Amino acid sequence: MSRLRDRFASFRPALAGIATMFRSEPNARIHAAAAVAVGGLCLWLRVPIAGVALVVFAVALVFTAEAINTSIEALSDRVSSETDPKIARAKDAAAGAVLFAAIGAAVVGFLVLGPPLWRVIAG
């Protein structure tokens, strides 16, 4: 039983990191609001499970990129509070990764939700 408890305890740091990301990063909260809205649309439009799976994967990718970006920013700020071109480049690349993921998620959302939403709108 203690091994199972140890397994569950190993998730605490990860959950704390996720909580920190949502508390410290306004964009993470925006992504969360968008994910809830898209999830609601999937339910309302009765999107097939394959489409829902694509949306879930896209949302997970955005949150993963956001978490990595948050980590890089925190470590960079800890390493140096001064402006450093190499640190700026790392931060910009991490922010770009979030942007790529968000654009990809928007495209997935459009492809999955667009046709059923159009059918509802067109009547």
Dihedrals phi, psi of 46, to nearest 5 degrees: 55, 50
List the one residue out of 44, 29, 38 whose CA is nearest residue 59. 38
Of 25, 66, 73, 82, catalytic = 66
Residues 8-18: b if buried by 16+ CB within 10 A, e if exposed = eeeeeeeeeee
List the one residue out of 102, 92, 115, 95 whose CA is nearest residue 41. 115
Annotated active-site residue 73? The verdict is no
Active site residues per annotation: 66
